[in-house]
Structure 1
Amino acid sequence: MTECERQQHAHLDALLQAYHEALAVHKFDGVLVFSGQPARHFGDDQHATFTAYGHFVHLTGQAHLAHSWVMVRLGEPSTLYLHSPADIWHLPAYLPEEPWVERFRVEPRKTHEPPALPPGRFAVLGEISDGMAQVMGAEANPSGLVAALNELRVRKSAYEVSCLRNANHQAMAGHLSAREAFDAGGAEFDIQLAYLGGVRQRESELPYPNIVGLNAHGGVLHYQHYDTVAPEKRRSLLLDAGVRYRGYCADITRTWPGHDSVAEFTPLIDGVTSLQHDLIAQLAPGVSYVDLHRRMHEGLAALLVEQRLVNASIESVLESGLTQAFCPHGLGHLLGAQVHDVAGLVDATGQRRPPPAEHPALRLTRELEVGMVVTVEPGLYIIPMLLETHRHRPEVNWDRVDQLADHGGIRIEDNVLVTAAGPDNLTPQEP
């Protein structure tokens, strides 16, 4: 048995035991977890890209099995109801040769209908209506049980960390291939194709649609297109691109200057990278992620002053709200079977912990704990819509800011494990 196989067995031992404990606490005899089903395009027989429900992925590592179910029962072996009908149009679903399969009683099924439930009190989780749950004789997505299962995903097992580390190594290979395509003068579409070739995954298998932003497109936080024609000037590339490995996600962002970038752009990339390294070094159990987010803004204020984008004190820049115009998103989020993993805005008891009013986009408000994997992704952008409200401020060096507008923005993002001995960066650094 390989080390990975041993880790996976240990992971499932602990996970299924924790499921049984949660069921007992919430007085359920069992839970049926639905993988979900792809949405059909209106008036067509084609379906949208599908990703399975997070708790189904957590149990199986299978992110693309549709119409399938996992039943976990107190005192009984767990069952995977695998939807795999005979089909001349599509290849039937099949399972990988991995140790987790041995831990489930696998029951192939041809129907879309949910499996019959035995007597007892059952919960059913996933995209299930209350009406369907009632027909099944179960309770749909009971909040207490869902919160308890969400919490099981917050601290990663050794197996999950290995999967996340592998996903990061695979994703970085794609980033390096994409950078080569950028340096060769490729369009966004060419860069995306190079990335897919580097990671050996098709677009529908990725954990999220890659962001491939050349020039000003790098300032659109979730830029969603791939231009097929390269711009005349290559100012910059912002690439936010990930991979799935056994269901677990990598989420990496890099920004590179282009052949035609202005001299002021590279020092800004270096400054954001240095800030990111400083923030990663501060990751430790007990540290408030909200405090880290605020330290990001302190670092951004210092960078704006140092690079003469703003002629003012660091304190006045922070008070003015300028850093939020240059970086409107949060410092990062939990990462796992979902890119924006669950339970980031609650504490360990399930009590809601919303982001501060002045930082509404922050996705993680918890204190850090051993076993958490988080992204750390400070950014600095030229977003005209946000900066326009500050045009009256004479302390901003608008000539310098406007010179950077067609460079879009900068984001540097790594995936980091919190340990008692310090941060463990799962993202390989570029050679």
Structure 2
Amino acid sequence: MDIHHPDLHPLFAEHMATLTQRSDAALAKAGFDHLLIPAGNLHYQFLDDRDYPFCVNPQFKHWLPVTNAPGSWLVYTPGRKPKLVFLQPADYWHVVPEAPAGYWVEHFDIIIIREAEEALAHLPKDTDRCAIIGETGSALGPVVPNNPQAVIDHLHYHRMCKTAYELAMMRVASKIGARAHRAAEAAFRNGASEFDIHMAYLASARQTEHELPYSNIICLNEHAAVLHYHSLQHAPPAHRHSFLIDAGASFHGYASDITRTHSADTGDAFQGLINDMDAMQQHLCARVRAGQDYAALHVDTHRLLGGILKQHGFIRMSAESAVEAGVTSTFFPHGLGHPIGLQVHDVAAFAADESGKSIARPDGHPYLRMTRTLEPGAVVTIEPGLYFIDMLLAKLKDDTALAREIDWQRVDAFRKFGGIRIEDDVVCTEGEPENLTRDAFAAVGQR
């Protein structure tokens, strides 16, 4: 899939200017003259000749929208035009990557090679002056990734703030994901199994499982209580109660990450719980603003969730007491969200600055994936949840004092639904946040 947009050329030019500026600063700080980024190589399964699906180095695809170029290299020297050493092998066993073309090629000196070893002739000879960022398996002769931490810390810290070009790519990824979510919900309403819902999603997104930014989570009924559920039952359940889908899409190397929860009966108590969780989630999305402490937003989510648990009769204690006692963590054991971009769980989520210092998680919240203060250009997910997880509920029930504060009959009635998670990708701007996910659903005619 490709897009044709009159603003892509200037957007990409501005993107390149930003990357070169950041790279110049990182190299100067760490004392290197060149930046080398291998795309990566194919990896083979143990005791077999089958390769795993290729996964490109995120640093490589930050520079150009090429995600299937094993054996290729990006070379940047401050003051010079970036060089792309592109491996296009003579191969009749596999599909050969297409020659570089499109809105981005004018920004690179492109050299086509036929054998991986030919890249050596086009890489800097003074390898000790090179910052080489890649996995160990990308080594080529004397060119071995050294992954200097000072360079990585600088680049990762600034990668939190997306360029206008990156946001354009993420808007497309969101629209693909929203369209596929709509197809998945239709399959659920028609009585499909988890496997068939998954296939409907892939068909609508027009992406294979390996092209998606992460493996789909598709849960019917109590399976929604497994946070990373991937089993995909082939037969539909005897009774349909609920459907939770956590699935995204990719576009030019950028990810979307979307979660929705549906009730089989849109007039039941579970739908009412979904509605209140949705209202809370939208309130949290509206608070994605410059200067917002993300960790504080996560902690406040527990207070809001305590109110919902009280309102719907799951707890007898106050919302504040439920937070203080850790009861809300039984129902919401994961973090509020994470950065997203080139990777679905993007980098530098805990970075205090570009030097590598980090910001600790709040006490009692070990699974929070981000602690940074938001700034314009940051894109984060907002994904509060409410689950009925047998293992965690059993632990709560063992605490005699706290167990008295729970309406177990009410809780037991909701176990069959598994749980609720609602997730949007939200851009922090200079003013009102941009909700990529809600905008995408509006474009395809669904919330």
**Band of TM-score, shorter chain:** over 0.9
Q: Percent identity?
A: 38
Aligned mate of 1:411, from 410, 421, 436: 421
Report the residue type matching 1:123 in the other structure. Answer: A
Indicate yes or no: 2:186 matched with 1:180.
yes
Alignment equivalent of 1:257, drawn from 259, 263, 281: 263
Deviates more, 1:46-55 or 1:282-291: 46-55
1:150 to 136, 147, 156: 156
User: SS state of the match for residue 433, structure 2?
Assistant: strand
Hey, what's the Cα distance between the residues in 2 that align with 1:16 and 1:138?
A: 22
Q: 1:228 to 1:139 in 2, by over 3 A?
A: closer
* 1:25 paired to 2:29: yes
Aligned with 1:50: secondary structure? coil
1:15 aligns with 2:19: yes
CA contact (8 A) 2:8 2:103 kept: no
Q: Measure the CA separation in 1 of the matches of 2:409 and 2:115.
A: 64
* C-alpha distance in 1 between matches for 2:414 and 2:292: 35
User: Which residue number in structure 2 is paired with residue 93 of structure 1?
Assistant: 97
2:378 and 2:75 map into 1 onto residues whose CA distance is 27
Moved more, 35-44 or 289-298: 35-44
1:112/1:388 Cα in 2 relative to 1: closer, same or farther (>3 Å)? farther
In structure 2, what is the equivalent of residue 340 of structure 1?
Answer: 345
Does the CA-based 8 Å contact 1:171-1:252 persist in structure 2? yes
Change in 2 beyond 3 A, CA 1:137/1:189: closer
Please state if 1:108 is matched with 2:112. Answer: yes
Q: Deviations over 1:65-103 (max 9, x none)?
A: 222211111232211122221111111112453222221
Amino acid paired to 1:128: T
> Per the alignment, do residues 242 and 314 of structure 1 end up closer, same or farther by CA in structure 2, a change over 3 Å counting?
same
Aligned pairs for 1:232-251 within 5 A: 232-251=238-257
Q: Please name the residue that 1:202 is paired with.
A: 208
- Counterpart amino acid of residue 192 in structure 1: H
Q: CA deviation at 1:300?
A: 0.7
1:32 and 1:122 in contact (8 A); partners too: yes
The alpha carbon displacement at 1:108 in A equals 2.1
Give, in angstroms, the shift of residue 352 of structure 1: 1.3
CA distance, structure 1, for counterparts of residue 221 and residue 52 of structure 2: 30
Whole-Å Cα distance in 1 between the matches of residues 179 and 261 of structure 2? 15
| Pairs within 5 Å for 1:114-125 | 115=120, 116-119=123-126, 121-125=129-133
In 2, are the aligned partners of 1:124 and 1:141 still within 8 Å (CA)? yes
* 1:63 is aligned to 2:70: no
Distance apart, 1:12 and its partner CA? 1.1
The letter of the residue matching 1:303 is I
Q: What is the one-letter code of the residue matched to 1:405? A: R
> What are structure 2's unaligned runs of at least 5 residues?
none
In structure 1, the partner of 2:84 is 80
Which residue matches 2:434? 424
Post-superposition CA distance 1:181-212 (Å, at most 9, x none): 00000001111111111111111100000101
Q: Tell me if 1:126 matches 2:123.
A: no
Give the distance between the partners of 1:29 and 1:8, measured in 2 at CA. 24
- 2:27 and 2:131 in contact (8 A); partners too: no
Amino acid at match of 1:44: D
Find out whether 1:281 has 2:286 as its counterpart: yes
Specify the code of the residue in structure 1 equivalent to 2:377. G
Contact 1:12-1:100 at 8 Å conserved across structures: no
Instruction: Give the alignment's TM-score, normalised by structure 1.
Output: 0.95
Aligned to 1:224: 230
Residues 1:258 and 1:163: Cα distance change in structure 2 (over 3 Å): same
AA matched with 1:271: D
Q: How far off is 1:111 after superposition?
A: 3.0
Matching residue within 340, 351, 356 for 2:357: 351
Distance 2:134 2:203 in 1: 33
Moved segments of 4+, more than 4 Å: none
What residue number does 1:402 align with? 412
Gap change, CA 1:218 and 1:64, over 3 Å in 2? farther
Taking the aligned partners of 2:279 and 2:134, their CA distance within structure 1 comes to 41
Partner of 1:380 in structure 2?
A: 386
What RMSD over aligned residues (CA atoms) do the two structures have, in Å? 1.8
Q: Report the alpha carbon displacement of residue 38 of structure 1 after superposing the two structures with TM.
A: 3.0
Q: CA deviation at 1:129?
A: 6.7
- Alignment partner of 2:420: what SS? strand
Could you tell me how far apart the structure 1 residues matched to 2:424 and 2:281 are? 9
- Superimposed CA distance per residue, residues 329-351 of structure 1 (whole angstroms, 9 cap, x where no aligned partner): 11011111000000001112331
For the 8 Å contact 1:216–1:406, the answer to whether it is kept is yes
Q: Is the 8 A contact 2:258 2:423 kept in 1?
A: yes
Any gaps of 5 or more consecutive residues in structure 1? none
In 2, Cα distance between equivalents of 1:304 and 1:53? 43
Call closer, same or farther: CA 1:11–1:387 in 2, change over 3 Å. Answer: same
Name the CA distance, whole Å, in 2 between partners of 1:353 and 1:66: 35
